[in-house]
Structures are given as structure tokens and as C-alpha cells.
Amino acid sequence: MFEHVPRYAGDPILSLVQTFLKDPREHKVNLSIGFYYDGAGKVPVLGSVSQARDRIDTSVPAVYLPMEGDAQYRKAIQETVLGAGHRAVAEGRVATIHTLGGSGALKVGADFLKAHFPGSEIWISDPTWENHYNILGGAGFPMHAFPYYDAATNGIRFDEMLATFEKLPERSIVLLQPCCHNPTGIDPSREQWLKIIDVLVARNAIPFFDMAYQGFGDGLEEDAWVVREVANRGIAMLVGNSFSKNMSLYGERVGGLSVVCPTADEASRVLGQLQATVRKNYSSPALFGSRVVSTLLNDPALREEWKGEVAQMRTRIHAMRKGLRDRLHALRPDLDVDYFVNQRGMFSYTGLNPAQVDRLRDEFGVYLIQSGRMCVAGLFEANLDYVAASMAKVLA
């Protein structure tokens, strides 16, 4: 019956992790997959999260959540993404649902948009998180890339990006990462964002923000700046957010999708259609993680503690960036490696080409993904010297 079903080649990043696990070398270093590791090289359990978990009354039966998720959880998402007391929320213009992580936000958002903007096409940065193609393309949208990464300067091809946006057909959907761009680590400046917004407004485009790393760049509030700026202006937009990384709750599938609408009437229509989209997909979201997140975010003391823990994770990432830059600078004064400290978030485009990535893995046991993307959060004091020394030998 299923003979004709083709074999799945597997996800390249997840397959690489399997190869890493089988690698017998003791000094091996995994800088491939997007996990935040602490200074001891472990995926952390945050103190605020474990306290929230301890408070959950497990004698309450696990009945279904509504299609859109729990009301307290959704309120907490709006406050985290848009800031407490945002005008758009007070005016009832934001339709927010619980989604299965940031991936679920992309999927529900894309299905919703496909149903109601069937002629639109999606634009995503070149390069982007590979799964954007699967999820957004899988919803049936033609996909286009807009210029983003500039290998020559390790910056953004800003003028070309803007020129592309200036020619967009009306109601084009533009997928943007508000902070900690995956895979490059390079974000537009605020000045650049303002120009981007002006062009998207002029083109009557639909911004779809994918915020998977809020808090890992410059701060929980700072990282959401562009999202809030667009919401302040009353522009229709979508924003997906994820607690996978900033709460270290990857497997609980806790995220959200918020659609900011020009009027409260539109928001209530949109919320209904988001509910319908969820119903057609998986019916209702997962309960336990949302109880943990909601308990945490709705308790002022736990929320403060969490903010402190996010700050610690962010500070550690910055310290590792600086540690790598300083070591490489000492070993290879001929190279300009300042980009490591100018980039933000968990990822860095190292500038290594596929052959160099292969050499780093085969000769030194240091695993990056083929594009040269490194997960900076996989660095810690104990492996920093070794990684820097290995990279210094491999970088051209």
C-alpha cells in the first residue's frame, strides 16, 4: 500500500545532532541546533519556571482548552509582546491565540492568511530559518526571498532590501524577525526599521513578525520595539511569539499568535477565524505548558524573577560572543572578527563556507550547520579556547 511513499531525507539540523551524538570524540562541541545552554553546557530549567510548575494543581482534570487557548495565558502574551497597557489591547484591537510554539503561530497565521488573502505572496529574508519555507510554503503560498545578508560586510543589504519592498504588490505578506535574526544574528537598526515600516505601509503590505528569541538580544522590551512601533501606528499586522527559548520550555509548545487590527470589530472577526483555523488543524492547544507560563507571567514576583533569568541568559550569550571575538582576534589578528559582538541573539553567521564547516567537524569535532551558522549559546568557558583555536585554523 505505501510502497510509493518516498523516504523522508530528514531535517538536516536534526540529522546533524544525531551524527554529533554518535561522535566518540570527547572534546566534540555542538554548535548546530538552536538550544540555549547554560555555563555548564546544560539546557537549563529556569527557577521561575520550576516554581510556577510546582504551583500547578495537578488534581484539576485535564479537560480541553478552548480553541484559542486559556484567557489568562493569552492576556499574558499580549502584555509580553506589546507591553503592559498597550492602547491596541485596551481598544480590543488585538486577536491573540495560544499556538504550539512559534512554529504553530507561523502555521495558523499562514493558513488564516491563505484563506482570506488567497492572491497574496510571501516574502522572507535571504537567508532565513529553513523551516519558514516548509511551514509558510506548505500553506500554499508562493515564496520569494528579499535581499538581507551581505557576506562582504557581514551586514544587511539594506538598500537592495528596501528597493525590493518598494516594488511589492499590495497586500504582500512580509515575514520579518524583530530581533536576533535566525540564522545570521544581524538585525536592522531602529533607523532602518523605521524606513522599512514606511515602505511597507506605503505598499499596503502585511507585516508578519516572527519573534522566537524575545529577550536574547537587548532586553524583553527592547527586542519587541519594532512590533510595538507598528502596533502604535495602527497598522494591521501579525506577530508570532515563542517561549521555547526564553523560558527554556521547548517541548511544551508554548507560543502565541497576535493579530493587531485597525478596529475592534475586525479583531473579533479575525479571532473567530483563528479559532476556526485551529479547529481544522489540531482542535485545541496543549494544556500543561500554558498553565506553567500563565502562572509565571501573571504573578508579579515570578515574572520579575524570570526577567532576571532572561537577562542572565542574554548576558552569557554576549560574554561568549566577546570571548570568541577576543580569542580569535589574538590568534588571527589578520581577520576582522568584530561581527561576532555586533550580532545579536543565539545565532551567528561565522562566514565559514561549507568546506570549512566540514573541516571544523571532521578534523576538530566542532559542529556548525552547513550554512556556517553557529549557535553561540553552545559555547561556554570550558570549550571557548578549543573552539577559537579550531576556528582560527580553519578560517581563510
Binding residues (CB under 6 A) for ligand PMP: these are 34, 101-103, 129, 177, 182, 210, 212, 242, 244, 255
Residue with the shortest CB distance to ligand PMP: 101
**Nearer Cβ to ligand PMP, position 112 or 364?**
112
CA distances from 322 to 47, 67, 346, 381 (A): 26, 44, 13, 12
**Nearer Cβ to ligand PMP, position 102 or 372?**
102
Catalytic one among 107, 111, 123, 210?
210
**Nearer Cβ to ligand PMP, position 212 or 237?**
212
Catalytic one among 107, 187, 245, 306?
245
* Residue 331 C-alpha from the chain's centroid: 32
Catalytic one among 129, 187, 223, 306?
129
Question: Distance between CA atoms of 107 and 41, rounded to whole angstroms?
Answer: 32
Q: Pull the grid cell for residue 89.
A: 489591547
**Nearer Cβ to ligand PMP, position 34 or 83?**
34
Shortest CB 25 distance to ligand PMP, Å: 26
> Which residue in 183, 174, 172, 191 sits closest to 212, CA to CA?
183
Shortest CB 376 distance to ligand PMP, Å: 13
**Nearer Cβ to ligand PMP, position 73 or 364?**
73
Shortest CB 63 distance to ligand PMP, Å: 24
**Nearer Cβ to ligand PMP, position 242 or 356?**
242
Active site residue 362: no
Shortest CB 333 distance to ligand PMP, Å: 33
C-beta separation of 72 from 294 below 8 A? yes
Question: Distance between CA atoms of 123 and 145, rounded to whole angstroms?
Answer: 5
Active site residue 193: no
C-beta separation of 143 from 137 below 8 A? yes
> Which residue in 149, 151, 140, 197 sits closest to 174, CA to CA?
197
Active site residue 129: yes
C-beta separation of 48 from 224 below 8 A? no
Shortest CB 129 distance to ligand PMP, Å: 4
Question: Distance between CA atoms of 371 and 16, rounded to whole angstroms?
Answer: 13
Shortest CB 102 distance to ligand PMP, Å: 3
Question: Distance between CA atoms of 124 and 177, rounded to whole angstroms?
Answer: 9
C-beta separation of 43 from 248 below 8 A? yes
Which residue bears the cell 570550558? 382
Straight-line distance from the first to the last Cα atom of the chain, in angstroms, rounded to the nearest whole number: 52
Residues in the chain: 396
Shortest CB 211 distance to ligand PMP, Å: 8
Q: List own/partner pairs for 53-61 with CB under 8 A and 24 or more apart.
A: 53/292, 53/295, 55/295, 56/288, 56/291, 56/292, 56/295
**Nearer Cβ to ligand PMP, position 10 or 169?**
10
* C-beta neighbour count of 166 within 10 angstroms: 11
Report, as residue numbers or ranges, the catalytic residues: 129, 210, 245
